[in-house]
A and B are shown apart, each in its own frame.
Chain A
Amino acid sequence: MGGFDWEVIRTSLPYLFKVGMVFTLTLTVLAMAGGIVFGTLLAMMRVSGLRSLGLLAGTYVNLMRSIPLVLVIFWFFFLVPYIGAWILREPRPIPVGTFYSALITFTMFEAAYYCEIMRAGIQSIPRGQVWSGFALGLGYWQTMGHIVLPQAFRNMLPVLLTQTIILFQDTSLVYVISATDFLGAASKIANRDYRLVEMYSFVAVVYFILSFGLSLLVRRLQVRIAVVR
């Protein structure tokens, strides 16, 4: 095996970060944004009091939460080209590429988790807030958009960010569809140069620093929000 080779890490830094980490962070941020939007819509369906809507959203959420993420990633990767072809009425499967396939997967998957967070957030807003919005003549969407959701989002911000840290780590699972995310990039170099120990240790350290640093920030944010309320 030989000694720990720092050099391989140093020379692969540009590739690891400019290609791998950019992929990972872009995927994380876009899936978070999409997941929160979609998850909030699901949450609104679940609290709407309309049975059919609630059942639909509930089924979706429970389904997503009961299947291993790796399976969903695989499944979407092979299915999305066919679904795309079906929607666009093309005779052949449409190549989507690993990035967009992963983005769609993570958005759909994380939406189930963001949904439950936003649902708790919405339910934490006193009924009187909705009443006072309605009493002023605001409609359902106005009351949601101006009064309920901003407060729910704000109250749940620490939890939403914590979920995003989990998402950030979970994106490494895209290696199963051979995407070049941070882990994927490292693993390619590890296998090329037979430097598994160095590369996987380095990857672990980077994931730890970023995740732990972010969770410290979230904790500080939590304290601030608690004081303002």
Chain B
Amino acid sequence: MPDAMISIRNLSKWYGAFQVLTDCSTQIAKGEVVVVCGPSGSGKSTLIKCVNGLEAFQKGEVVVDGISVGGPKTDLPKLRSRVGMVFQHFELFPHMSVIRNLTLAQEKVLHRSPKDANEKGMKLLERVGLAAHSGKFPAQLSGGQQQRVAIARALSMDPIAMLFDEPTSALDPEMINEVLDVMVALAKDGMTMMVVTHEMGFARKVAHRVIFMDQGQIVEDCSKDEFFGKPRSERAQLFLSKILQH
């Protein structure tokens, strides 16, 4: 695939003697939405953190938009500033107002003027329906609202791709949809997305492909229709049947 935005080749990673990732390979094209799922501890978070270099790896290669993440000369902060990331626990900066959360990196990393950063920030808060909360502190918002702010914060850097690590799994059930709606809209806008989630409704709606991981390996990597039609591996079938029960 020549126009791969994210390309992971034969990636292996160890924590000491424990191998977390074993020979993982996959590609994500520009504009593609890929859902990553699998049982707890299977290495999903680790894999996604390797994509923007938050985790180092020992073997293989990760290339984002033509730049090798593990390369010795790679400007990691610069690369990361172009890849948005959303975490399970939001990770907003609790000592800053909502709008400051959105402007800090714009000013410090992209060197935008405070005025430009503010305008951009407000526009994005509007987009996620939270403009009225710009002056509040994160702790004053609900979980769903915090996660929408976190998405807006990532978008404020004009990323070329977005990584999500279980963005809804720390949320109360009634707040999951408000976050998923924002993500669906993003996917429909053509954003390249790699999403670790167990929300199969989201996968059905917007994913192009589904990756299933188990014990540090990519066990399935197929189109959404193939995956939901009939996963080839037994483990994926078992996993799906458990997940879809509720």
Contact = CB atoms under 8 A, between A and B. Distances in A.
Interface of A: 126, 128-129, 131-139, 142, 146-147, 150-151, 154, 228-229
Given A128-B91, A138-B104, 16 more contacts: A128-B87, A128-B89, A131-B91, A135-B52, A135-B54, A135-B83, A136-B81, A136-B153, A136-B154, A137-B157, A142-B108, A146-B104, A150-B95, A151-B93, A154-B95, A228-B139
Contacts of A128: 87, 89, 91
A141 to B, nearest CB: 10
B240 interface: no
Interface in B75-92: 77-78, 80-85, 87, 89, 91-92
B131 to A, nearest CB: 21
Nearest to B163: A135
13 contacts: A126-B89, A128-B89, A129-B91, A135-B154, A136-B105, A136-B109, A137-B105, A137-B109, A138-B77, A138-B109, A142-B109, A147-B93, A228-B139
A107 B84 CA distance: 42
A126 B94 CA distance: 11
Nearest to B78: A137
Given A134-B54, A136-B153, A136-B157, A146 B108 contact: yes
A167 B236 CA distance: 62
Contacts of A228: 139
Interface string B83-122: 1110101011111000000001100111000000000000
B169 to A, nearest CB: 14
**What band does the interface of chain B fall in when counting residues whose beta carbon is under 8 Å from A?**
20 to 34
A228 B138 CA distance: 11
Chain A facing B: main interface SS? helix
Contacts of A147: 93
B10 to A, nearest CB: 24
A132 B91 contact: yes
| Shortest 10 CB-CB contacts between residues of A and residues of B | A137-B81, A132-B91, A136-B105, A135-B85, A137-B109, A128-B91, A137-B80, A137-B77, A139-B77, A131-B54
B93 A129 contact: yes
Contacts of B105: 136-138
Nearest to A140: B77
A126 B87 CA distance: 12
A131 B90 CA distance: 11
Interface in B27-60: 49, 52, 54
Nearest to B150: A132
Contacts of B93: 129, 132-133, 146-147, 151
B87 A151 contact: no
A135 to B, nearest CB: 4
A131 B84 CA distance: 12
B77 A132 contact: no
For A132, A136, A150, A154, which residue has the most chain B Cβ atoms within 10 angstroms? A136
Nearest to B109: A137
Interface string B52-72: 101000000000000000000
A151 B109 contact: no
Nearest to B94: A151
Interface in B126-148: 139
For B52, B83, B92, B94, which residue has the most chain A Cβ atoms within 10 angstroms? B94
Contacts of B89: 126, 128
B95 to A, nearest CB: 5
Contacts of A151: 93-95
Contacts of A146: 93, 104, 108
Contacts of A139: 77
